Structure formats: C-alpha cells, structure tokens
Amino acid sequence: MQGWIDGVLDRNWESDVDGTVRFALIGLGWWTTDVALPAIANSDNCETTALISSSTEKAASFADTSGIETAMSYEEFHEGTDSDRYDAIYIGTPNATHLEFASTAAELGKSVLCEKPMESTVERAERMVERCESTATPLMIGYRMQTDPLVQRAREMIANGVIGDPVSAHGQNSQPLLEMIPNPDQWRLNPELTGYGTSVMDLGIYSINTTRFLLDTDPVAVQAQMHSSHEAFEGLADERSASIIQFGDCQLVSTSSQHAQEDTRLTITGTEGQLELRPAFHGDCRLRVSRGDTTITAETDAVDAEYETTELFDYFADRVLAERSVGPDGRHGLTDMRTIEAIHQSAATNERIEL
Amino acid sequence: MQGWIDGVLDRNWESDVDGTVRFALIGLGWWTTDVALPAIANSDNCETTALISSSTEKAASFADTSGIETAMSYEEFHEGTDSDRYDAIYIGTPNATHLEFASTAAELGKSVLCEKPMESTVERAERMVERCESTATPLMIGYRMQTDPLVQRAREMIANGVIGDPVSAHGQNSQPLLEMIPNPDQWRLNPELTGYGTSVMDLGIYSINTTRFLLDTDPVAVQAQMHSSHEAFEGLADERSASIIQFGDCQLVSTSSQHAQEDTRLTITGTEGQLELRPAFHGDCRLRVSRGDTTITAETDAVDAEYETTELFDYFADRVLAERSVGPDGRHGLTDMRTIEAIHQSAATNERIEL
C-alpha cells in the first residue's frame, strides 16, 4: 500500500530532455482556452506562443487576455505567417477541419498534437497520416486517458495479471449535450463537421481507446445498434448507441449518448478480479480494483482534466525534443476511426463487421 | 425521504386471503434446502409438507432433519403417491427436468412454482405451458427479482419518469462457478441438463428478466458473441457471453460469465437520470438513483435472498388462494426462453435475430 500511494502519480515515461516546445493553439473553443491553455502553462517543456482562430480579431483578443504575443487567423496560418514563432500545433477544432491544419503543419515542418477523433472519416484520417509521414512530421492524437496516471496504474495491474484473463468490459459515456450547450446549431450536431455521427465519435471513442490501452490489444470485430429521435439529431444516426466490440476473446459492451444523464465508466472483469474506472473520462477518475473478496479504491485530487492535459503536452514535448517517436500516433488513431466507421456500418446493416 | 424510508419494504400486491398453500419441494439442492425451505418457514401463507428427491432415502433424511412428514422419490411423485398431502409444487431441479414435474403436477391438479429458466429449450417450455394451461394449472416462474421490494421501488420510479426516457442499460452477472462448486461434473456444465448453454441461461437471464420488469416491455431483437475455452465448458458455447438486447429504442448491453470474478449489476440510464442496482441479483441488492446532480442510495439489511424467496412464495400463495392469475407466468417465462435461444442463434451466426 505504501509504495502504491507514493507511486500513484508516477509517469510511465521519463523526461530527460531540456528545452521547450512552443505551441500554436488552433481553435479557441472552451476546451482550448479553459483547459489546454492553463495545462500548457503548468507544463515542464511547453509554452503557448501563438493563438489561431477563425478571425485575427478573435485570436488577438484572446492573446491579449492571455499575454500571448502572436495571434492570427486560420488563413494566415495556412499562408505560413510567423511560422518561426512556434514549433508545434495543437488542433482543437471540429473533427472535419483537422486534416487541413495538419497538412499545413506538415508542410511547415511543425509537429502536430491533434484532438480525438483525429478526423471526420477514415479516408481523411488516412490522408492526414500520409501527409505527416511524407514529411516525417510527428503526429500524436490527444488521448488524455493514456497519460492519466491512474489509468497507467490500471494498465500495469492488468499486464501483471491482477484480474487474471480479461473476460468482458463495460464502457459507458453519456452526457446531456443540449443542456451543456443549449444550442442545436453546434458542430457536434452537424454531420459535415463531426463525421460518422456524434455519440460514438465524441463519447464512445473514450471507451474504445481506453480499453485498447488497458488491454494492449485492438478490436477485431463489432456489432452495433443506434437510435436518434430528438429533432436536434436530424441527419445523425447515433443520438444513442450500443456496441459489442470484440478484443480477441474479451468483449467490450459499450453505450454512449449525447442526450442522457451524465455518466462515465469503464469496467473490466477478469477470471480473477475486476478493475473499474468510475468516473472514468472527465478528469476526476476513480480506480477500483477487486480480486476475490478484497477491493481497493484509489482517487486523487491531484488529477483533473487539466492535469491529464499537462501530462499529454509534456509527454508530447519530451518525445519531440528527444526526437523519439510519438504515440498514440496517427496510425493508432486510425484504428479508432476504422472501428467507429465499422460500428456505424454495423448499425446500418445489422451485420457483424470484421476489422 | 420520510415516506421513502418507511415504505421501502412495501409489497406491490396485497394479501387479503386466509389459508395455507402446502408445498412439495422437488429437488433438494443447496438452494432448496438452504434458501427455499427457511423462506417458506418464514412465510405467511405457505408451508412445506413434502420433500421429493431422486431417492426416497435422500428425501426421508432431509425430511427427518427438517421435521417434515412426507418424503418421496421422483418416481413416487409421478405415481401420485400421497398427493393429498400438498397443494403445490416448487421445482428446483436441473433445467431439462422441469417439464416432467410440471406435467405430473398439472395431471394431479397441483399448482406449480418453477425455478428459472423454466426449461432447457423453447420447445420444452412451450409444452410445459400447454400442459398447465390444458388443466388450468397455475404456473409461475420463480423470478425473485420481481418480488424484491427495492426492485419494485425502482420499477415505480421508472414508471413515474424519475430517469426520463430510458436510453440504455448495462447488465452484468458473473461468478467463478468452478470455485463455488469445484467439480466439472455439475449439471450447469452438462448441455443435456442446462439447455442452450450455461452463462446466459443461469446468469444473463437475471439482466434480461429484470430489465423487462423494470422497463415493463419485452425484447424485440438481439445480437451476441460468446466464447468458451476452459475444458470444463466443453460442449457449451458460453463460458462468457456479451449481448445487445433491444427493448424498443432502449438497448440493454449484457455480459455474463461462469468463469470470472463475481459481479452483479444492472444500470438503466435515461434522458434525465440513472438507476442502478449493484449488487443486483444475489439478494443483497443496493439501489442508487441519480437525477441531475443529486444521487440517493437505498439498501436494507432486511432483504436477502431468503427474504426475496419468502416474498415469492407468499405472493404465489396469495394468487393461488384467491384464485387470481399468477405472474410472472409460463408465457412470461417463454419470452426469456425465446430471447436466450435467439442470443445463442445470434452468437452462432453473427446475425441480428428479431424476436
């Protein structure tokens, strides 16, 4: 217990580099301004040196408030304006706009940290990977759960056999989107911007990717059902969704909804124990591990979404500065994109889709 | 809160009858002797007057210990021996033997309370319903969860709109069968006695039936995956299983395993709240209800598996004595049998099966 409580915040990577990665943040939604910006301010090896938004004025206004020197529009970014003032970009814009930003960064020789899901379709995500690989541009997808220390401890326990052979997993990620953002005209409800749909792209991806990380294996087949009835979800199949996602002989059953009581959790049951993250995905993660009749729980006030994001940026900076390969990289993100596409195909056809 | 805590153990039915139903208990496994027998002793309107087992000697030995006058073999039961000494039978034998006992009871004019699953196959379950209906014999299936007071409170809350429109449900029922009964030669692992399989028949049925009860609706389609690898599960497809079971627009995702850490839970998430039973199915039920930012939990030491079973027998006796129709009846049980058969079909064919 002593070692456990002392080591709960340990990183599963070591920072042994000096230097700073200067970031241009693209897309100034609430996540970028309220979470990513302070997270970078707290980081060891990152600094925000440029803000990029739909208009120079919007970017300049945020830059003034935050004491950041450089502000520009998307257009100016694509033209290469002031590109000597940053080393990497963080893409926090709607899904269907990621490819263009990553492509420009690849041309400009800037490293890319891109929010998940990496793009709106498999085809566009593949092009993003190609563009970045063609110029040897580091491309990492922003899977915060993989840098959350409690999730890393969970992964280590599974690898060490604490729960035995994984048997089944339950993932749930739901939220009342229209109460959180009371406007049907938002990009998560716009099929042209979100991609295959909304609940799996935006929420289900957490259960899928975190299970991949915890089990250290990838999905092989999916089955799914979806349903939309509220008028705000017109043109989107998955106001709510349910899937079976097969990881070898372990089945993840996953539900996600953009129109439901908030709940996030991931439970993995094995032949000899059970591991649960609940809440799981919004930064205030609580870990519960059972084996036989014994259960331990771990939670820490030190970790929240901002902390996870600091870890994400510091890890990315460490890889870039040391010229190590980054990961979860674009090809890792592509596996989620193909899984989500298959989940939508399965729901549309009622067929099991092999990956 | 005051009304809630005072009313938590309320029955959703009223006993206004006098009299006693005298029971013959068939099959003297641990459930019958350790749970059903004391449960009946605690009941208002039931009494155990006969014990029936594979041999007269085994039955007589238990009857002596328990102070019960009549003991007989299965053969003697089928011959109608001492049939004036009981009014009803309780069937607690392996699944594939229920039909014969119920058929004899129907011939003898005895009411039937039969353990779930009601039989090993849909075809045999249908014959059981026909036999009982042909002689107007009351046939009830022993779904204890439906007489658990906390489950009844949960059902009332859902009906009253506490969680809004049900969106998705998660059911999990797993246990380490080979640690609980360390013998591969047990009937739950014998395809001839258990029927379609083991984990869905024995465990998944709790998630399915309790969701039916809570939502007051029946499944319309299923998708499933199964896997067996341990040698004790030879000839059985579902050492572990995962299913999507569609209830209208609400999807239940359900996992069950006979070779995993013990865990029982049922969670129903709605547009405005969430209701969870965890633990759910082994008598020590804990109810958690969230709506917006508020969560209440209810648990009571008064309720355990024996209490649920007393409620089950008293409810059955009340219906029989008042000559009211019993329920959950054989046709209700048939819906579970058809659902379980479809789950096995879906897992074998990778197709979605409509019900």
What CATH number is associated with residue A288? 3.30.360.10
Q: What are the start-end ranges of the H helices in chain B? A: 2-7, 30, 37-41, 56-66, 74-78, 98-108, 122-134, 149-159, 177-180, 191-194, 199, 205-215, 305-321, 330-349
Q: Is A288 on the interface with B (CB under 8 A)?
A: no
Report chain A residues whose CB lies below 8 A from the CB of B261: 163-164, 269-274, 290-292
B259 → chain A, closest CA residue:
A271
With cut-offs at 50, 70 and 90, classify the pLDDT of residue A132: very high
Residue with tokens 């100034």: A28
- Taking the CA of residue A130 and the nearest CA in chain B, the distance in Å comes to 34
What's the confidence (pLDDT) of residue B189? 97
A316 belongs to a structural domain: no
Q: Assess whether A112 and A186 both reside in one domain.
A: no
The stretch B215-241 carries a mean pLDDT of 97
| Domain boundary, last residue among A79, A111, A142 | A142
Report whether pLDDT(B6) > 90. no
Report chain B residues whose CB lies below 8 A from the CB of A224: 244
**A305 Cβ neighbours under 8 A, 6+ residues apart:** A35, A144, A282, A283
Q: Assess whether B136 and B122 both reside in one domain.
A: yes
Domain with B105 in it: what CATH number? 3.40.50.720
pLDDT tens digits, one per residue of B53-91: 999 999 999 999 999 999 999 999 999 999 999 999 999
A290 with B261: Cβ contact below 8 A: yes
The stretch B285-290 carries a mean pLDDT of 95
Number of structural domains in chain A: 2
Sheet holding A294-299, edge to edge: A294-299, A286-291, A273-277, A259-270, A166-176, A250-257, A240-247, A221-227, A353-354
B172 → chain A, closest CA residue:
A170
Q: Assess whether B43 and B126 both reside in one domain.
A: yes
Residue with tokens 């991806």: A205
β-pairing, A286-291 with A273-277? Answer: antiparallel
Q: Does residue B90 contact residue B68 with C-beta atoms inside 8 Å?
A: no
Q: Using CB atoms, which residue from A260, A291, A292 is nearest to B269?
A: A260
With cut-offs at 50, 70 and 90, classify the pLDDT of residue A1: low
Q: Assess whether A175 and A291 both reside in one domain.
A: yes
Q: Does residue B288 contact residue B275 with C-beta atoms inside 8 Å?
A: yes
Those of residues 252-281 in B touching chain A at CB distance below 8 A are 253-255, 257, 259-261, 263, 267, 269-274
Q: Assess whether B111 and B97 both reside in one domain.
A: yes
B8 belongs to a structural domain: no
Q: Using CB atoms, which residue from B170, B224, B292 is nearest to A170?
A: B170
Q: Assess whether B135 and B176 both reside in one domain.
A: no
Largest CA distance in chain B: 62
H/E stretch holding B141 reads strand B139-141
Q: What is the 3-state secondary structure (H, E, C) of A193-234?
A: HHCCCCHHHHHHHHHHHHHHHHHCCCCCEEEEEEECCCHHHC
Q: Assess whether B133 and B169 both reside in one domain.
A: no
B170 with A174: Cβ contact below 8 A: no
B249 with A240: Cβ contact below 8 A: yes
- Taking the CA of residue A347 and the nearest CA in chain B, the distance in Å comes to 10
**A329 Cβ neighbours under 8 A, 6+ residues apart:** A138, A139, A140, A141
Percentages of chain A per state (helix, strand, coil), in multiples of 5: 40, 25, 30
Q: Assess whether B248 and B335 both reside in one domain.
A: yes
Q: Assess whether A270 and A166 both reside in one domain.
A: yes
What's the confidence (pLDDT) of residue B13? 85
A175 → chain B, closest CA residue:
B271
Token pair for B334: 């048939």
pLDDT tens digits, one per residue of B162-205: 999 999 999 999 999 999 999 999 999 999 999 999 999 999 99
CA distances in angstroms from B72 to B32, B53, B56, B67, B111, listed in the order given: 15, 7, 5, 14, 18
| Domain boundary, last residue among A142, A173, A195 | A142
- Taking the CA of residue A184 and the nearest CA in chain B, the distance in Å comes to 17
pLDDT tens digits, one per residue of A282-305: 888 999 999 999 999 999 999 999
Report chain B residues whose CB lies below 8 A from the CB of A267: 172, 263
Report chain B residues whose CB lies below 8 A from the CB of A222: none
Domain span at A150: 145-303+326-354
Upstream peptide bond of A94 is cis (omega within 30 degrees of 0): no
What's the confidence (pLDDT) of residue A6? 84
Q: Is A223 on the interface with B (CB under 8 A)?
A: yes
Report whether pLDDT(B41) > 90. yes
DSSP-assigned beta bridge partners for residue A112:
A89, A139
Q: What are the start-end ranges of the H helices in B136-194? A: 149-159, 177-180, 191-194
Report chain A residues whose CB lies below 8 A from the CB of B251: 225, 227, 240-242, 255
DSSP-assigned beta bridge partners for residue B23:
B48, B88
Q: Does residue A336 contact residue A129 with C-beta atoms inside 8 Å?
A: no
Token pair for A58: 């919007």
B253 with A270: Cβ contact below 8 A: no
CA nearest neighbour of A203 among A257, A260, A149: A257
What's the confidence (pLDDT) of residue B349? 97
Q: Is B120 on the interface with A (CB under 8 A)?
A: no
The stretch A97-118 carries a mean pLDDT of 98
Residue with tokens 């970031």: A23
Distance CA(B47)–CA(B25), nearest Å, equals 10
With cut-offs at 50, 70 and 90, classify the pLDDT of residue A130: very high
- Taking the CA of residue A166 and the nearest CA in chain B, the distance in Å comes to 9
Distance CA(B26)–CA(B46), nearest Å, equals 15
pLDDT tens digits, one per residue of A163-219: 999 999 999 999 999 999 999 999 999 999 999 999 999 999 999 999 999 999 999
Mutate to test the interface with B, among A158, A165, A168, A229 (most CBs of B within 10 A): A168
B1 belongs to a structural domain: no
Name the DSSP letter for residue B351.
Answer: B
pLDDT tens digits, one per residue of B234-278: 999 999 999 999 999 999 999 999 999 999 999 999 999 999 999
A310 belongs to a structural domain: no
Q: Is B49 on the interface with A (CB under 8 A)?
A: no
| Domain boundary, last residue among A93, A110, A142 | A142
Tell me how many degrees the CA angle A267-A272-A273 measures, rounded to the nearest 5: 30
Q: Does residue A337 contact residue A201 with C-beta atoms inside 8 Å?
A: no
A167 with B254: Cβ contact below 8 A: no
pLDDT tens digits, one per residue of B85-131: 999 999 999 999 999 999 999 999 999 999 999 999 999 999 999 99
